[in-house]
Amino acid sequence: MCHAILRDANLYTFLFQIDRDLAAEARAAGCLCGGVLHSARYPRKPRGGPRGLGPEYERRLSFCCAKEGCRRRTTPPSVRFLGPRVYHGAVVVLVSAMEGGVTVKRAERLRDSLGVSLRTLKRWRKWWREVLMASLFWKQAMGHFVPPVDVAMFPGSLFERFMGSDVPDRLVRLLRFLSPLTTRSLEAG
C-alpha cells in the first residue's frame, strides 16, 4: 500500500499546491526589513517519487529580499521536502513509519522500488528517534499530544495520531505538522 501511495502523482501535485500557498503567504508578508521579496528558487533533485513530476518539483520555493543591503533569503515551510533530505518528504515519513519496522526483505523491496538503501533507512530512523526528539521543535510540539506519543514506536506512533479519511490525507496532515522543520530556523538536523 505504501508503494502505491508514493507512486501517486496526484499526491505530489497536491503537495506542490500546498507549498505554493505557503510560499504566497511568505511572499505577502515580505522581508523582515520591510523589503519586497522576489523569487529565488533553488534546485533540488528529490528521489523516491513517481517519474515525470515536472520541473516545478525540482525547485524549492524560496525568495530573496529586493532591498539593496539586505538581500535576506526567505524560504517558506514545505510539505514536499523534509529539510535537506534528498528523498521526498512523503517517502521519508511513510517508509519510516512502516508497521513492523524494516526487515531485510522490506529493505530489498524499498531499494528496488524507491532506491532507498538500508543505510539511508538507518539514518532516517536515527533522525526520527534521536535528532528530532532532541530538537526545540519536538520539545515544544510534544505537549500537544495527550496521551504522549509512544517514542518506542516513533515515527509510526506519531503518524497514527493524525486523523484523516485515508492514508494520503493523514500523510498530508503530518507533513503540514512537520513543515516548520523545513526552514533553517527550526531545522532539526
Residue 188 domain-assigned?
A: no
- Residue 138 CA to residue 147 CA, distance in Å, equals 15
Residue 16 confidence (pLDDT): 95
Residue 11 domain-assigned?
A: yes
- Residue 181 CA to residue 102 CA, distance in Å, equals 25
Residue 189 domain-assigned?
A: no
- Using the Cα atoms of residue 159, residue 122, residue 60 and residue 73 in order, give the sign of their dihedral: positive
The mean pLDDT value of the chain amounts to 88
- Residue 100 CA to residue 185 CA, distance in Å, equals 33
Q: Is the pLDDT of residue 23 over 90?
A: yes
Residue 111 confidence (pLDDT): 82
DSSP secondary structure of 44-96: ---BSS-S---GGGGEE--EEE-STTT--EE----SSB-TT-SBBHHHHHHHH
Residue 144 domain-assigned?
A: yes
Residue 130 domain-assigned?
A: yes
Domain that holds residue 40: 2-182
Residue 188 confidence (pLDDT): 44
Residue 184 confidence (pLDDT): 67
